[in-house]
């Protein structure tokens, strides 16, 4: 894992009255324990990975409470685990990155929602939307609506988030419906504090298991019960949810003196709205507002009576709703119309953008625009105009002074990443066998589609690299190259891709990036992670699995040997042999490897043991500044520096001190017949006396062999 959570784990032990300090997602984890949860699962992915990570490190606390924690194979598996709460009164929670995780989970979710639950079932979704998001931009809201799962969107402060976790379970039980808690990226990582309660051991848990199975057709997803379940959702569960939400005042109203106006906002955006009002002279820093605000900590279902109460008598309303379609705006308009609350103009996406994240800038300019049209005579109207002008001018002046946009920094492979050499090899292979269609997959390897490689034509989802090549392969002259990570392989790629391709006799090339972890999500373990598997003797092997499902052409190649990879690629592309050709690119995630070996090396060094450190370098007088090596690598430690030769203008390539000596530079220089500037330096730390003698003798002989400069200069 990317981080150690030893410290965070300790804060999970805090008791009643203690103050927790930390990240939002860890506060949620603590809240789960306070809610008497019996089992937890999830599939990692930013921004909720830390929930899974911290529980992985917290086995003793979970043991004390009898909480069962099990990482799932994928989000569908995690959602299916919530099946435990269908028949039995036990609480369970799962987590994943949304919307992609919700997509994968939706089969199980639909069934779960139809059957309904007895024990509280909570799904914590990390809404990966806006700046820093790594996935397609869609709303989880649609899933809540289609399956009638309740959706919480709490104000992004720790006490509210924690409170909503606790209410989430109760709401789930009160309405026999699973509940989703949506946290945006920044809310997951928000650092704050809250006052804790004691952790609660559940009545039923692995320490106190259920003795007799329970069966109730009313909670079983088969016709005809599915028909009655649909009716029950509308007739029983929904009204029960509405009742719980309004009785416990999960949504909040903040009154203000200008009550001809009003703002309805998703809980998660409340702080942004408050900051905007403060900047517009209409609120203070403590939350006192001049414009009434209705905060939806529950965005589905809506509470019609609360909406009509809030809107009645208001002239102009603004709905601040992030993402599209504007479900809330549509629903609120419909509610007001149905209930004959007329006379208020409802603004929303007409003053705020249809799509994209509602950042501070977006919200403040949107609200200023709303006020400008709804209330032009407002007492602080001058301030609104001045502020929007100030923002515009700040950006314009910067653009003028900078002359051109500053260079972008697309994500790329880390220093020494084992996936980089594979794409270097593909790049070199292209010169020999031409370009072909390349299907990408979810994982770090998708960065190959960016600079400097630009390799990858489509990306269809996690573990779907091979499956997404099936259609194009049949319609493409050359053999298609499909990429898949080992994370994607175990997530579903083995079945969706490999087994099916073999069964259908597909004739493609699959490269499996075997780096040992679900690396892009933060280095979580997968069934084939190196070292200490849960059951060592049962650790699966990707190559054996592939053989067993019928792959005949299979090569495992050490990632960093570019020339072997090049050979395998050319062979796979040109061999007359039909059928799926799989290349396993074998190389451990360098981040994880460094994390593993650095402490070991530090220990050896401090013990005075001989350690050879390897890194690469470039002779600046030999380099001519063409940077071909960078275009075939992109390694962050392979950078540029001013040319030491005053006659030359182009910067030279340079290897900086982050180099981990992976060897790719030398491999590429060879495989691409590139340039003799590269050298590998082996630094012997704590050399033995023998190392010292050999070195000295060599230096003496070499010194004698070397002609003096002044002699060579004369000719």
Partner 1 sequence: MNAQPRSLNILIAALGGEGGGVLSDWLIASATREGFPVQSTSIPGVAQRTGATTYYLEIFPQKNVAADKQPILALTPAPADIDVVAASELIEAGRAMQNGFVTSQRTTLIASTSRVYAIGERAAMADGRFDGERIVGAANELARRAILFDMAAMAQTTGAPMNAVLFGALIGSGALPVSRSAAEDAIRESGKSVEANLRGFAAGFEQAQHPSPPLAPEAGVKTLPRNADELVASARAMFPAAAHEVIELGLQRLIDYQGAAYAGLFLQRLTPVARLEQNADADDFELTRETARFLALWMTYEDVIRVADLKTREDRLTRVRAEVRAREGEVVRIVDFLKPGLDELCSILPPWLGEAILNAARKRGLEDRFNVGLHIHSTHVFGFLLLRLLAGLRWWRPHSWRYRLEQALIERWLKAIAGAAALDTKLALEIVECAQLVKGYGDTHKRGAHNFELIARNYFDIDLTRTDTGALTQAIRKARTAALADPEGEALQTEIEKSLAPLTSSSAMPEVVETRH
| Residues 182-201, interacting with partner 1 (CB under 8 A) | 184-187, 189-192
Ramachandran area for residue 681 (φ above 0: left; ψ -120 to 50: alpha; else beta) = beta
Which tokens sit at 49?
A: 């990975």
Question: Is residue 440 within a helix (H) or strand (E), and if so which, with residue range?
Answer: strand 438-440
Per the listing, tokens 């060599």 go with 698
Helix 327-338 and helix 304-311: axis angle, to 10°? 80
Minimum CB distance to partner 1 smaller for 527 or for 617: 617
Minimum CB distance to partner 1 smaller for 231 or for 706: 706
CB of 494 to partner 1, least distance (A): 24
User: Binding of partner 1 at residue 406 (CB under 8 A)?
Assistant: yes
Ramachandran area for residue 661 (φ above 0: left; ψ -120 to 50: alpha; else beta) = left
Binding mask 617-636 for partner 1 (x = CB under 8 A): x-x-xx-xxxxx-xx--x-x
* Peptide bond between residue 301 and the one before it cis (omega within 30 degrees of 0): yes
List 409, 477, 534, 538, residue binding partner 1 (CB under 8 A): 409
Minimum CB distance to partner 1 smaller for 446 or for 512: 446
List 129, 327, 447, 462, residue binding partner 1 (CB under 8 A): 447
List 395, 547, 598, 609, residue binding partner 1 (CB under 8 A): 395
Q: Give the residue from 297, 306, 232, 303 showing the smallest Cα distance to 268.
A: 297
Q: What is the spatial distance between Cα 418 and Cα 445, in angstroms, rounded to a whole number?
A: 10
User: Binding of partner 1 at residue 345 (CB under 8 A)?
Assistant: no
Size of the site for partner 1 (CB under 8 A): 124
Contact assessment for residue 658 and residue 636, using Cβ atoms and an 8 Å cutoff: yes
Q: Coil, strand or helix: which one is 707?
A: coil
User: Binding of partner 1 at residue 370 (CB under 8 A)?
Assistant: no
Binding mask 103-142 for partner 1 (x = CB under 8 A): -------------------------x--xxxx--------
Contact assessment for residue 536 and residue 522, using Cβ atoms and an 8 Å cutoff: no
List 206, 207, 275, 339, residue binding partner 1 (CB under 8 A): 275
Minimum CB distance to partner 1 smaller for 402 or for 535: 402
Contact assessment for residue 613 and residue 682, using Cβ atoms and an 8 Å cutoff: yes
Which 8-state DSSP code applies to residue 480? P
List 394, 474, 503, 600, residue binding partner 1 (CB under 8 A): 394
Per the listing, tokens 């939307």 go with 129
| Residues 19-48, interacting with partner 1 (CB under 8 A) | 21, 46-47
Q: Coil, strand or helix: which one is 354?
A: coil
Contact assessment for residue 250 and residue 170, using Cβ atoms and an 8 Å cutoff: no
Binding mask 672-701 for partner 1 (x = CB under 8 A): xxxxx-xxxxxxxx-x---xx--x--x--x
User: Binding of partner 1 at residue 405 (CB under 8 A)?
Assistant: yes
Minimum CB distance to partner 1 smaller for 36 or for 44: 44
Q: What is the spatial distance between Cα 274 and Cα 55, in angstroms, rounded to a whole number?
A: 34
User: Binding of partner 1 at residue 271 (CB under 8 A)?
Assistant: yes
Minimum CB distance to partner 1 smaller for 149 or for 264: 264
User: Binding of partner 1 at residue 556 (CB under 8 A)?
Assistant: no
3-class secondary structure for 578-594? CCCEEEEEECCCHHHHH
Minimum CB distance to partner 1 smaller for 290 or for 506: 290
List 116, 272, 418, 587, residue binding partner 1 (CB under 8 A): 272
Minimum CB distance to partner 1 smaller for 87 or for 271: 271
Q: How many helices and strands, by DSSP H and E, does the chain display?
A: 28, 26
Stretch that binds partner 1, among 9-17, 87-95, 245-253, 386-394 (CB under 8 A): 386-394
- Annotate 281-299 with DSSP letters as a single string: TSB-TTS-BSS-EEEESEE
Rounded to an integer, what is the distance from CA 405 to the centroid of its chain? 27
Question: Is residue 86 within a helix (H) or strand (E), and if so which, with residue range?
Answer: helix 84-87
Q: What is the spatial distance between Cα 227 and Cα 231, in angstroms, rounded to a whole number?
A: 7
Q: What is the spatial distance between Cα 535 and Cα 526, in angstroms, rounded to a whole number?
A: 13
| Residues 136-165, interacting with partner 1 (CB under 8 A) | 156-157
Binding mask 557-596 for partner 1 (x = CB under 8 A): ------x---------------------------------
| Residues 482-521, interacting with partner 1 (CB under 8 A) | 520
Which tokens sit at 222?
A: 């088969």
| Residues 648-677, interacting with partner 1 (CB under 8 A) | 648-651, 657, 665-666, 669-670, 672-676
Minimum CB distance to partner 1 smaller for 67 or for 662: 662
Minimum CB distance to partner 1 smaller for 409 or for 538: 409
| Residues 194-253, interacting with partner 1 (CB under 8 A) | none
Which whole-number Å values give the CA distances from 552 to 329, 542, 548, 555, 568, in the listed order?
56, 14, 10, 10, 14
List 638, 660, 662, 664, residue binding partner 1 (CB under 8 A): 638
Stretch that binds partner 1, among 27-35, 216-224, 333-341, 393-401 (CB under 8 A): 393-401
List 239, 382, 411, 505, residue binding partner 1 (CB under 8 A): 411
User: Binding of partner 1 at residue 471 (CB under 8 A)?
Assistant: no
List 279, 347, 514, 581, residue binding partner 1 (CB under 8 A): 279
Q: Phi first, then psi: what are they for 159, rounded to 5°?
A: -60, -40
Which whole-number Å values give the CA distances from 522 to 45, 93, 491, 634, in the listed order?
7, 21, 16, 21
List 408, 477, 606, 689, residue binding partner 1 (CB under 8 A): 408
């Amino acid at each position: 894992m990317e981080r150690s959570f030893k410290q965070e784990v300790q804060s999970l032990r805090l008791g009643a009255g203690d103050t927790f300090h930390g990240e939002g997602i860890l506060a949620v984890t603590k809240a789960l324990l306070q809610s008497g949860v019996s089992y937890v699962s999830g599939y990692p992915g930013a921004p909720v990975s830390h929930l899974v990570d911290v529980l992985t490190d917290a086995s003793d606390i979970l043991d004390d409470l009898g909480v069962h924690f099990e990482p799932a194979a994928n989000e569908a598996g995690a959602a299916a685990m919530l099946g435990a709460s269908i028949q039995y009164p036990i609480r369970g929670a799962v987590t994943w990155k949304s919307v992609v995780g919700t997509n994968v989970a939706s089969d199980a979710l639909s069934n779960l929602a139809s059957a309904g639950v007895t024990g509280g079932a909570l799904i914590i979704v990390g809404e990966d939307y806006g700046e820093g998001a790594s996935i397609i931009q869609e709303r989880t809201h649609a899933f809540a609506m289609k399956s009638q799962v309740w959706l919480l969107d709490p104000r992004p402060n720790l006490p509210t988030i924690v409170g909503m976790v606790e209410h989430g379970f109760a709401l789930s039980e009160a309405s026999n419906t699973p509940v989703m808690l949506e946290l945006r990226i920044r809310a997951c990582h928000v650092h704050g504090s809250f006052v804790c309660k004691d952790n609660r051991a559940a009545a039923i848990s692995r320490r106190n298991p259920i003795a007799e199975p329970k069966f109730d057709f009313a909670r079983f997803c088969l016709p005809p019960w599915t028909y009655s379940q649909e009716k029950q959702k509308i007739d029983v569960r929904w009204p029960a949810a509405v009742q719980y939400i309004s009785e416990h005042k999960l949504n909040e109203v903040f009154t203000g003196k200008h009550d001809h106006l009003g703002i309805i906002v998703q809980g998660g955006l409340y702080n942004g709205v408050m900051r905007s009002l403060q900047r517009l002279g209409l609120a203070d820093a403590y939350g006192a507002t001049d414009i009434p605000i209705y905060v939806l900590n529950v965005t589905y279902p809506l509470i019609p009576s609360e909406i009509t109460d809030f809107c009645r008598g208001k002239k102009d309303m603004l709905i601040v709703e992030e993402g599209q379609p504007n479900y809330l705006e549509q629903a609120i308009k419909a509610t007001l119309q149905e209930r004959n609350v007329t006379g208020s103009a409802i603004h929303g996406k007409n003053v705020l953008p249809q799509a994209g994240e509602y950042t501070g800038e977006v919200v403040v300019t949107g609200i200023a625009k709303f006020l400008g049209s709804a209330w032009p005579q407002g007492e602080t109207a001058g301030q609104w105009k001045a502020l929007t002008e100030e923002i515009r001018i700040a950006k314009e002046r910067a653009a003028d002074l900078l002359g051109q946009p500053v260079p972008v920094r697309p994500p790329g492979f880390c220093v020494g990443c084992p996936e980089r050499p594979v794409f270097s090899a593909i790049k070199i292979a292209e010169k020999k066998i031409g370009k072909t269609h390349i299907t990408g997959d979810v994982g770090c390897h998708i960065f190959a589609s960016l600079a400097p490689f630009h390799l990858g034509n489509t990306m269809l989802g996690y573990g779907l690299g091979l499956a997404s090549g099936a259609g194009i392969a049949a319609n493409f002259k050359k053999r298609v190259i499909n990429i898949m990570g080992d994370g994607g392989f175990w997530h579903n790629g083995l079945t969706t891709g490999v087994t099916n391709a073999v069964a259908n006799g597909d004739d493609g090339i699959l490269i499996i990036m075997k780096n040992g972890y679900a690396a892009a999500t933060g280095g979580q373990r997968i069934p084939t992670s190196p070292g200490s598997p849960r059951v060592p003797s049962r650790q699966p092997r990707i190559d054996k699995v592939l053989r067993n499902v019928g792959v005949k052409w299979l090569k495992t190649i050490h990632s960093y040997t570019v020339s072997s990879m090049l050979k395998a690629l050319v062979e796979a592309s040109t061999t007359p042999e039909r059928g799926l050709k799989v290349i396993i690119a074998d190389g451990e995630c360098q981040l994880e490897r460094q994390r593993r070996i650095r402490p070991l090396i530090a220990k050896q060094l401090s013990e005075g043991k001989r350690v050879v450190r390897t890194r690469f370098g470039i002779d600046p007088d030999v380099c001519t500044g063409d940077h071909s090596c960078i275009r075939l690598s992109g390694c962050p430690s392979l950078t540029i520096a001013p040319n030491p030769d005053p006659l030359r203008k182009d910067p030279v390539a340079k290897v900086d001190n982050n180099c981990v000596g992976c060897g790719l530079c030398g491999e590429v220089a060879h495989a691409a017949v590139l340039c003799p500037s590269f050298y590998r330096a082996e630094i012997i730390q704590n050399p033995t006396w023998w190392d010292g003698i050999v070195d000295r003798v060599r230096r003496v002989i070499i010194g004698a062999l070397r002609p003096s400069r002044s002699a060579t200069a004369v000719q």
